[in-house]
Amino acid sequence: MPTLVPHKNIEPILMDIRRPGATRQAPVFRSIVHLERSPEQTSRFAASASRRTARRVVFAVLTALIVGLSTGTWWSLHEVQRLTQSLSGRGDIVAQNFILALEALTAFKPGEAHAYLVNNEQAMKDLSGSLGVTERAMLNVAGGMVPAIKASTAIFGSAAKLNEQFLDLSSLLMEFQAHGLVYFQSDGERLLVLFGRIRASIADISATTKELKNSTASLRGASSFVASLDDELGEHYLKRAADLYQVEQFLDALLAFLSSDSDRHFLILFQNPAELRPGGGFIGSYADLTIRRGQLANLDVRDIYDPDGQLALNVTPPTPLRTLTERWGARDANWFFDFPTSARTVLGLLESSKMYSERHTTFEGALALNIDIVKTILGAVGPIKLPDYTFTVTADNFLSEVQREVETGADNKAGHPKRILSVLTPIILERLNSLSPEAHMALLDAFGAHLTRKDIMVYMKDPTLATYFAARGVDGAVYTQPTGFWGSYVGVVDANVAGGKSDAFITQTIDARIDVDTDGGVLTDLAVTRAHAGDKQKDPWWRTTNQNYLQVYTLPGSTLVGLSGNDVKTMVTAESEGNDFTANTDLDRIERTTTFLASENAWSLQAFGKQVFATWFNVAAGKRKTLEVRYQTPDTTGEAVVPGRQFTFVFDRQSGVKTSLRAAILAPIGYEWAEARGSAFVIEEPDPPARIETKLTLVKQL
């Protein structure tokens, strides 16, 4: 009888070579074979066995390949997971550094931006260095099998490219920051090349950002790295796309202006806040900058009375100034709270003077600088000894000594009262060129602070350049409320008319209580307090009674409810104008809206999209007075007062004035402000910026 034995004396087992302890037993398949066979049977068996052996070999090879590939794939995916997690972590760092760098560049702090971008570059190098040859190969293989992985690594490369471009831009801006003034004075061609490189760098960044944003938006599900970049690009970079485009347009216009082979003239207005005017300080002197091929070709510092003395045009002055002058000149033309309008008026009057009209000279724009800027510069460059004078100019004595020289010095007696400024200006420019890098950076930071307080304002005739400066809030324009605006607007504007230089010793506080009614209307109680501390001064121009034509700017539709503390002053009426006088278009448009409020000894008028209440408010030396104004502003939007509605408070500061602000905004009955977690939101600014814009959200009171 044949003996039966198992076909295989082993149990088939599948073992995971990556985890030896984990085994899986396969089903047992048994067959019966006869050990005793005839020769024919043996021969057939041998042939059959040979075929079975071949099949076993093929099966074993295939099994080995499958096991090997399965194990390799598992290892690959494990490594890819590890690497993509690393990519994700790096992506968060990269995205955050991008944002910080962008904010620094926006604030024109390229050094800070450069530091963030260098960190980014190092983070990317660290990640690149952590990938060995095997890891790179596995990522390439995995990228072919999993498109998301390939997309992540490709986007990471694009991010590295963008970082490199931003590094290039920050380096260029650092060069401009450190050497721009020197190039402007002595190497205009180099300045033009630098601006051209900055323009090209921004164009590259704009293109790469757009490509990267499109990639991350379509593949944000690929990994958390891609999602992180997409979120940050979407939130911060995409909304800056318009800014990048505007910067490109600005640089194109600036290069066109600077690279002209013909002379271009630009005006610097030195405003003296010791004698306030609505557009800033009184323009006692100015500088005519002649620019050719990106370089300063000539700097002519002059007394404002020089061109005014050659002005044949008779222009009717603003009514409050008619007690001082019959004809309007450039010296008094910064009469408008809106600086672009003031600058346009000053330039028009200067260009009408024979000093410039006979040479067909026109000005491309104007830069207004308050005297406080000069003090800051003197603090950086140090005391300046003037051989032609008996004193040394410092930051502390600049205003008093220069004012005394202008009023009573030898130059005044010789008919050139502002000569001292012509002597001082080139010395200051030379000193600026020799500042240490640290002092230079500190001075630029100080200039930034002056910009935020309206001590520096820029006006350009070119619409592209004007739009750029307006978008950055440095043109000194009056705030324009958007359609459907609901809120409150406050602007207090002083004008010293025959009050000497007394504003140098005037301090002002503005206190506003803004009550929002349940129908959306607003009742405002405004208190303006001015204290005159010039009574102890030796020079008479400091001790003069401060005669102030004060204007309160509010929203359209406001009505005056009450006024107290003001003064009465008779002003010359329009009937005193002669037939040979012409009217300034901007001034005439405003004055045609003026109505005298006899019961309040005040005027009501409209200017720059605002309702304005004006009156005289005079303060004697050593005295302190308060003007109280109450006015009602209706809600003209037609919207209901409901939870979630947003109320906006806006304050515009006047250039040159020393003021503080306190504003308490009270929610309607039954409501409170989400931002205050109460019914009153209080703003307190001892030295407010050029503009405060605060948005508050209504919620039901608990």
Q: What is the pLDDT of residues 413-428, one digit of tens each?
A: 888 888 888 889 889 9
Judge contact between 545 and 619, C-beta under 8 A.
Answer: yes
Q: Has residue 203 got a pLDDT over 70?
A: yes
Percentage, residues of the chain above pLDDT 70 = 77
What is the C-alpha separation between 40 and 42, in angstroms, rounded? 5
| Between 14 and 220, the higher pLDDT residue | 220
CATH of 70-258, one of 2.40.10, 3.30.70, 1.10.10, 1.20.58: 1.20.58
Q: Is 88 exposed, middle or buried (0-12, 13-18, 19+ CB in 10 A)?
A: middle
628, two tokens: 């109280």
What is the C-alpha separation between 451 and 553, in angstroms, rounded? 22
Write down the CATH number for the domain with range 264-471.
3.40.630
What is the identity of the amino acid at 658?
K
Q: Has residue 104 got a pLDDT over 90?
A: no
> Position of tokens 């295939």?
62
Residues with Cβ within 8 Å of 589's Cβ and at least 6 positions away in sequence, in order, are none
| Average pLDDT of the chain, as a whole number | 82
What is the C-alpha separation between 600 and 546, in angstroms, rounded? 21
pLDDT in tens, 159-171: 778 888 889 988 9
Judge contact between 438 and 322, C-beta under 8 A.
Answer: no
Residues with Cβ within 8 Å of 391's Cβ and at least 6 positions away in sequence, in order, are 397, 401
Judge contact between 641 and 491, C-beta under 8 A.
Answer: no
Residue 353: count other Cβ atoms within 10 Å of its Cβ: 20
Residues with Cβ within 8 Å of 132's Cβ and at least 6 positions away in sequence, in order, are none
Show the CA angle centred on residue 628, arms to residues 626 and 630, nearest 5°: 170
DSSP H/E element including 499: none
- DSSP for 316-327 reads PPPGGGTTT-SS
Q: What is the reported pLDDT for 218?
A: 59
Q: What is the reported pLDDT for 241?
A: 66
Paired sense of beta strands 392-393 and 506-516, if any: unpaired
Q: Has residue 303 got a pLDDT over 60?
A: yes
Judge contact between 244 and 213, C-beta under 8 A.
Answer: no
DSSP H/E element including 87: helix 39-106
Long-range contacts of 470-473 (CB under 8 A, 24+ apart): 470/340, 471/243, 471/246, 473/690, 473/691
pLDDT in tens, 335-377: 999 999 999 999 999 999 999 999 999 999 999 999 889 899 9
What is the C-alpha separation between 160 and 125, in angstroms, rounded? 9
What is the three-class DSSP state of 384?
Answer: strand
Closest-CA residue to 69 (of 145, 178, 8, 180): 145
Mean pLDDT of 534-540: 95
Q: Has residue 596 got a pLDDT over 60?
A: yes
Mean pLDDT of 32-47: 42
Q: What is the reported pLDDT for 127?
A: 58
* Residue spans per domain, the chain: 13-69, 70-258, 264-471, 487-566+601-700
Paired sense of beta strands 456-460 and 487-493, if any: unpaired
What is the C-alpha separation between 629 and 524, in angstroms, rounded? 8
For domain 487-566+601-700, the CATH class is: mainly beta
Tell me the C-alpha to C-alpha distance, in Å, between residue 150 and each of 126, 129, 222, 623.
19, 18, 9, 76
What is the three-class DSSP state of 482?
Answer: coil
Q: Has residue 121 got a pLDDT over 90?
A: no
pLDDT in tens, 226-276: 566 666 666 666 566 667 788 889 999 999 999 999 999 999 999 999 999
What is the C-alpha separation between 82 and 574, in angstroms, rounded? 83
What is the C-alpha separation between 144 and 114, in angstroms, rounded? 36
Q: For residue 372, how many C-alpha atoms fall within 13 Å in the half-sphere facing its CB?
A: 19
What is the C-alpha separation between 558 and 577, in angstroms, rounded? 31
Show the CA angle centred on residue 369, arms to residues 363 and 374, nearest 5°: 130
pLDDT confidence tier of residue 119, bands split at 50, 70 and 90: confident
pLDDT confidence tier of residue 145, bands split at 50, 70 and 90: very low
